[in-house]
């Protein structure tokens, strides 16, 4: 699975053809969404059937939702966290599905 995540939404690609979207509804002003553990729990549940996971986020540290998700998985879902094979940083405002697929292919084990 591939997760393209920021603090507003997570796009979980299960087969690089279709995807689920988990969104936090925003009732705030400003660019940064306050952290909400239920958002990361929803993403963790969507990742339950994964064999391996590539995370794509942007920013650094706590500004990078992929890093926040990594920390959340390590603490609350250690078995799932061990399936994360790579974390990439990209400009999500212009990232296409094809580019996300290219990132995933660089890090995932080919299916034979």
Bridge partners, residue 57, by sequence: 89
> What letter does residue 86 receive in the DSSP assignment?
E
The ranges assigned to domains in the chain are 2-107
pLDDT, position 45: 92
pLDDT in tens, the chain (112 residues): 899 998 888 888 876 555 555 555 544 455 555 567 888 999 999 999 999 999 999 887 778 899 999 999 999 999 999 999 999 999 998 998 889 889 988 988 776 5
pLDDT, position 23: 52
pLDDT, position 27: 47
CATH architecture entry for 2-107: 2-Layer Sandwich (3.30)
pLDDT, position 13: 83
């Amino acid at each position: 699975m591939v997760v393209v995540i920021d603090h507003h939404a997570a796009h979980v690609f299960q087969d690089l053809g279709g995807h689920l979207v988990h969104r936090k509804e925003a009732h705030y002003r400003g660019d940064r969404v306050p952290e909400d553990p239920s958002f990361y729990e929803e993403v963790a549940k969507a990742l339950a059937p994964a064999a391996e996971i590539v995370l794509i986020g942007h920013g650094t540290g706590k500004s990078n939702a992929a890093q926040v998700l990594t920390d959340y998985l390590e603490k609350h879902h250690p078995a799932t966290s061990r399936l994360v094979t790579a974390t990439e940083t990209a400009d999500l405002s212009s990232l296409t599905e094809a580019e996300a697929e290219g990132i995933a292919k660089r890090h995932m084990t080919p299916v034979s």
